[in-house]
Copies of this chain bind each other. A is one copy, B any other.
Amino acid sequence: MAVARQSMREEIVEAALDRFHARGYNAAGVKDITDGAGVPKGSFYNHFASKEALAVIALERYGESRRMRDLADTSVEPLTRLRKHFEFLRDDVVGWGYKRGCMFGNFGTEITDHSETIRASVGESLRVWTDLVAGVLAEAAHAGALRTGLDPAATARLIVNAWEGTLIDARATRSPDAFASFFTVVFDTLLTPPN
């Protein structure tokens, strides 16, 4: 029975991650989520205090799927590592047919004004990610591979935010052009030392 309950909770989290990502917070109802999990709607509140509490868990689960750890893999040259990170994120969105985008940005626009709990979680997700990117930039600067005079923290924040906006553009235009501008301007102009 303990195993069954654990499995039901996990099935609800997995379904929530899928439904919140595909539909957004408001459009994904508790019944959509329990239907997706194949469990009775009534079982939801045995496992979660609220839809909002589940959303925070889904957001954390989403963050774990972004392969953030790869950003700290010092066996790969820093700017190559950073480029591969955003290529992985790009390929994920292209694989969804230019849909879904990033849950940090989706919850960030739809829900942060209306839930302090989700706002804190989105802010923390962006901060952790930005700190990892800043670490890569500091490594690149140390190796002399970065344009001089860049502040790693401010530049990392701009890059992460540019990525979130690029996803909005890519979803609205359903084309790779927004991604092309991101990679060209960030990697070939902003970060690269002039010849």
* Chain A residues near B (Cβ < 8 Å): 22-24, 26-27, 99-101, 104-106, 108-110, 112-114, 119, 122-123, 126-127, 147, 149-151, 153-155, 157-158, 160-169, 171-174, 177-178, 180-182, 184-186, 189-190, 194
Q: Are the CB atoms of B165 and A123 closer together than 8 Å?
A: no
Q: Are the CB atoms of A185 and B109 closer together than 8 Å?
A: no
Q: Are the CB atoms of B110 and A106 closer together than 8 Å?
A: yes
Chain B residues, CB < 8 A from A182: 158, 161
In the complex, the 6 A-B pairs of residues with the closest C-beta atoms, listed nearest first:
A161-B165, A164-B165, A165-B165, A162-B162, A108-B168, A123-B172
A109-B101, A110-B106, A110-B110 given; A186·B158 CB < 8 A: yes
Contact of A185 among B112, B126, B190 (CB under 8 A): B190
Contact of A166 among B24, B127, B161, B194 (CB under 8 A): B161
Q: Are the CB atoms of B180 and A154 closer together than 8 Å?
A: yes
| A169-B110 Cα distance, complex, nearest whole Å | 13
Q: Are the CB atoms of B190 and A161 closer together than 8 Å?
A: no
Q: List 24 A-B contacts (CB under 8 A).
A: A24-B26, A24-B109, A105-B165, A105-B168, A109-B109, A112-B168, A112-B172, A113-B171, A126-B169, A127-B173, A149-B189, A149-B194, A150-B189, A151-B184, A154-B181, A157-B169, A157-B178, A158-B181, A161-B169, A163-B165, A164-B164, A164-B169, A165-B165, A194-B194
